[in-house]
Structure 1
Amino acid sequence: MPSYKKHALFSIIIAIPFIQDFFYLSLALIGAAIIDMDHHVKKKNLILMAVLGVSISLILFILNLPFLIGISLMVMALIFYISKHRGFTHSIFGIILLSILLTFFILGFYNLFYGINIDNKIQLIAISLILGIITLNKKMILPFIIVVPLGIILTPNLNLSLFYTFLALFLGCLSHIILDLFTPSGIKLLNPLSPKKFKKGAGIFLFLLWCFSVFIFVFKGSIF
């Protein structure tokens, strides 16, 4: 099983050809970390996610504000709770769903405070820190909470984008399953449609597909 350090480094490598802003790179790192929350050693993080989701939902409901932001965290906590390690959350369908739920939470959080004179970068720092504390290995949290806010502050003209938010999260998740495909046990890449385990060959294919995407994006220009 690749270490959290390898997953963290590889997530940055996979994401950086497409995105260079610190905020989006932090999301890629979070994406790479979050899919391992189906592991029993992440139980405390899972409880924190569920409690935070319930708390946010209740507060927003009482204030008559959109409370589905918190519901998205609760749904993710439920998915991780019922998923076996390297189960649904380590599949293509799983990382797409997780990326959508996380994007929904991030944009909901951002839009909720957009009109009350909270600085744009302060919101993005808060989003990164909340998700980082929930998902990251405890040895990574201190460097994360130092480097990421500083990077966001120093980034000029930083605005939240739906496309790049989803892309960063998805690339981070994808980087994780690519590395896991190179392990002896492999992963059920098409779970729940197929119980078949994919290994090194699928990892090579996904990596080559990423290389092709980088070539198109960097040298041919992006339609976005």
Structure 2
Amino acid sequence: MSSYKGHSVFALLLSLMFFHSPLLIALTLIGANIPDFDHKFKKDNVYKLIILGLIVFISLYILKLPYLIGLIIVFLGACFYFSEHRSFTHSIFGVVILTSAVSLIVIWAFQLVTSFTNIDNQYYLLAIIIALLSFLFLNRKLLMVFLPVFFISVVIVPFFNINYLEIIFASFLGLFSHIVLDSFTPAGIKIFAPLSSKKVFKQFGLVCIFVLVIVAMLYQGPFYYNLFENYVIS
């Protein structure tokens, strides 16, 4: 199984343990594909990301609109440009930084569009923003499957109120799932890069998966209790 397929499947399984909204599931899947942008064969995409950020920054600055989102996109591209493969972007520090950047892009884009439009259905608006984010980070072959399934899910699944903390958590879960899965490879990951070259391997991954399962059970406990109460006890 290719790298992007493996990371996507793993992230999908994790996201289904935590979320019911297709928006959060999609954001987790996208996040799982982000760290590998530090690979040399993706340098062209990094250049495009930096150029896009500059275009967004200049355009919003000219229009006298909040332009920090453009700088965040440039910063994101710079992180990949200066990072060696499986170094900073595959560390816990990198996951935190990338989570912050991706979450800010989604949240600020959402706030920016809602500030000067009269779109009533913010659920669909957020879905469009997440779909646009997928164009930046998903493999083209994966994108052809992701987009139709995503939009069908958005239409079929009932609306979910999504807060900013859930957006941050979904982004983190996707990014973190990437380094967890990479810890099972023979090369392992430098968990504290760039401060330390210490590597962790499958033992780290197994512990993380165990912890994630426990957290998911606690996170979804109230939901499953309500189902049990409504459909079993009653």
* 1:190 alignment partner AA: F
Residue 169 (structure 2) aligns with: 167
Deviation at 1:151, TM superposition (A): 1.8
Secondary structure of the 1:16 match is: helix
- Structure 2's unaligned 5+ residue stretches are 224-234
**Cα pair 2:91 2:192 within 8 Å, conserved:** yes
Alignment: residue pair count: 222
Which residue of structure 1 lines up, in the alignment, with residue 34 of structure 2?
Answer: 34
Q: 1:163 to 1:89 in 2, by over 3 A?
A: same
Local SS of the residue matching 2:195: coil
**Alignment RMSD (CA, Å):** 1.8
The equivalent residue for 1:106 is 106
Aligned to 2:90: 90
Q: Which moved more, 1:178-187 or 1:14-23?
A: 14-23
Bigger CA drift: 54-63 or 158-167?
158-167
1:203 aligned residue (205, 210, 213): 205
Q: Judging changes above 3 Å, is the alpha-carbon distance between structure 1 residues 105 and 184 closer, same or farther for their aligned structure 2 residues?
A: same
Displacement of 1:220: 6.4
Instruction: Flag structure 1 segments of 5+ consecutive residues without an equivalent.
Output: none
2:154 counterpart residue number: 152
* 3-state SS in 2 of match to 1:166: helix
Task: After superposition, give the CA deviation of every residue in 1:140-159 in whole Å (9 maximum; x if it has no partner).
Answer: 11112212122223333344
* Aligned residues of 1:2 and 1:179 also touching (Cα < 8 A): no
Q: Rg larger in 1 or in 2?
A: 2
Superposition TM-score, scaled by structure 1 size: 0.92
Superposition misfits of 4+ residues, deviation over 4 angstroms: none
Partners of 2:44 and 2:128 in 1: how far apart?
21
Equivalent residue number for residue 218 of structure 2: 216
TM-score by length of 2: 0.89
Contact 1:16 1:25 in 2 (8 A): yes
* Paired letter, 2:195: L
CA contact (8 A) 2:123 2:159 kept: no
